[in-house]
Amino acid sequence: MTTSIWEDVVGQQVAIERLKRAALAPVHAYLFVGPAGSTKWQAARAFAALLLAGTDDPSRRDVGLVLRGEHPDVKEIERVGPAISKDQADDIVRTASLAPSEGERKVMILDEFHLLRADAASRLLKTIEEPPDSTTFLILADFVPQDLITISSRCAQIDFRLVDEQHVADRLVIEGVDPETAAEAAAAAGGNLDRARLLATDPELAARRRAFFEVPQQLDGNGATVMRLVGELLGRIEAAAVPLAARHELEVVAMHERIARYGERGSGKKALDERQKRELRRHRTDELLAGLTVIAGGYRDALVNGSVRRPDAVAEAVVRIHDAIGAFERNPNEALLLQSLLWSLPVLVS
């Protein structure tokens, strides 16, 4: 039983306070900016419920419907391909222009707006700038890219921050994760609550982090060792996808039930398939980046402890690791990148 509409918005007290104040005299569009897993989506539903119902009482029918994503006057738009498409933009404009079904107001929640393409952005600008009086836009973005500065300038911006480690861990414990696993998952999740939930179900998390942590000690200047380590690390990354794949399997089962009940047309099978592929890809990249961050952390600790013989080489290693992290944006060959990186790193004596 939900006790507060803000229950699922974790570690965002400043944003929640701003939204509560905003609900007293709402404007036509809000831009929620913050990293993935910062519970922007949950905040958008809670804010939509507050706007439509004028109350934060979760026992009210319309509040419950909004929080479950089933209110006819709240339209949630998630991309079906790599970004919100032109056709989806047209759908947004059309829906925004229609009168609300039940109340006096309707809310449009647009997710992952930072991925919007220029052609869709141009179709949406006018509507977001001047929607009908009954429409409020809640636009969610991980960041504001250059192309969207015009649209973002028409919105009131609410900032969301990385959820701090303690909040993430506390939340996982509330959700039934044991405190030790929760702490470990929170530490590895980098402020992303969604990722922390996934890591909490991954029994290999601790072993994987240790494997990355021990890389500097295992290096011996030998190419064969680099090859072996990279093979081992990539094997662990491969295995890290198992919990996510299990979650995906549940989604596929649920979808097949829906298809059996409602038919394949409109079932969202293709969209689900594409989303799962994207999630797997993203999870893999996140894990690799998290692993590299652990290696960098090992070098940094050694530098701080003063236990290294050549501090300049160690400092340079940290820079190289960060360069490698940056290189992931360009979708590189992972094995080659890791081999090249590990080959360039100095040996740390434990």
- CA–CA dist 214, 135 (Å, integer): 54
Is residue 220 part of the contact set for other proteins (CB under 8 A)?
no
Is residue 306 part of the contact set for other proteins (CB under 8 A)?
no
Give the nearest distance from C-beta 104 to other proteins in angstroms.
Answer: 9
Give the nearest distance from C-beta 171 to other proteins in angstroms.
Answer: 30
Is residue 21 part of the contact set for other proteins (CB under 8 A)?
no
Is residue 258 part of the contact set for other proteins (CB under 8 A)?
yes
Residues in the chain: 350
Q: Which is nearer to other proteins, 68 or 309 (CB)?
A: 68
> For residues 41-55, b (16+ Cβ closer than 10 Å) or e, as one string?
bbbbbbbbbbbbbbe
Q: Return the sign of the alpha-carbon dihedral for residues 49, 51, 53, 54.
A: positive
Binds other proteins (CB under 8 A): choice among 100, 214, 247, 343: 100
Binds other proteins (CB under 8 A): choice among 3, 25, 250, 265: 265
Is residue 262 part of the contact set for other proteins (CB under 8 A)?
yes
Binds other proteins (CB under 8 A): choice among 90, 159, 164, 175: 90
Select from 162, 160, 183, 159 the least CA-distant residue to 171. 183
On the CB side of 327, CA atoms within 13 Å amount to 17
Is residue 26 part of the contact set for other proteins (CB under 8 A)?
no
Please choose, out of 221-229, 246-254, 260-268, 315-323, the segment that lies near other proteins by the rule CB under 8 A: 260-268
What kind and span of H or E run contains 270?
helix 269-305
Q: Which is nearer to other proteins, 118 or 349 (CB)?
A: 118
Is residue 327 part of the contact set for other proteins (CB under 8 A)?
no
Is residue 68 part of the contact set for other proteins (CB under 8 A)?
no
Crossing angle of helices 165-174 and 179-189, rounded to 10°: 140
Q: Do 287 and 240 touch, CB atoms closer than 8 A?
A: yes
Binding mask 267-296 for other proteins (x = CB under 8 A): xx--x-------------------------
Give the nearest distance from C-beta 145 to other proteins in angstroms.
Answer: 22
- CA–CA dist 96, 320 (Å, integer): 48
Q: Do 11 and 34 touch, CB atoms closer than 8 A?
A: no
Q: Which is nearer to other proteins, 124 or 338 (CB)?
A: 124
Tokens 């989604």 belong to residue:
251
Give the nearest distance from C-beta 41 to other proteins in angstroms.
Answer: 16
Please choose, out of 72-80, 109-117, 172-180, 297-305, the segment that lies near other proteins by the rule CB under 8 A: 72-80
- CA–CA dist 80, 100 (Å, integer): 24
Q: Which is nearer to other proteins, 100 or 297 (CB)?
A: 100
Binds other proteins (CB under 8 A): choice among 2, 85, 134, 285: 134
Q: Do 323 and 218 touch, CB atoms closer than 8 A?
A: no
Give the nearest distance from C-beta 131 to other proteins in angstroms.
Answer: 9
Give the nearest distance from C-beta 51 to other proteins in angstroms.
Answer: 17
- CA–CA dist 247, 318 (Å, integer): 35
On the CB side of 263, CA atoms within 13 Å amount to 2
- CA–CA dist 114, 149 (Å, integer): 10
Tokens 């360039």 belong to residue:
344
Is residue 94 part of the contact set for other proteins (CB under 8 A)?
yes
Provide the 3-class DSSP secondary structure of residue 169: helix
Is residue 70 part of the contact set for other proteins (CB under 8 A)?
yes
Select from 220, 344, 218, 238 the least CA-distant residue to 288. 238
Please choose, out of 52-60, 85-93, 108-116, 153-161, the segment that lies near other proteins by the rule CB under 8 A: 85-93
Q: Which is nearer to other proteins, 93 or 318 (CB)?
A: 93
Judged by the rule CB under 8 A, the positions of this chain that interact with other proteins are 70, 72, 77, 80, 89-91, 93-94, 96-101, 123, 127, 132-135, 258, 260-263, 265-268, 271
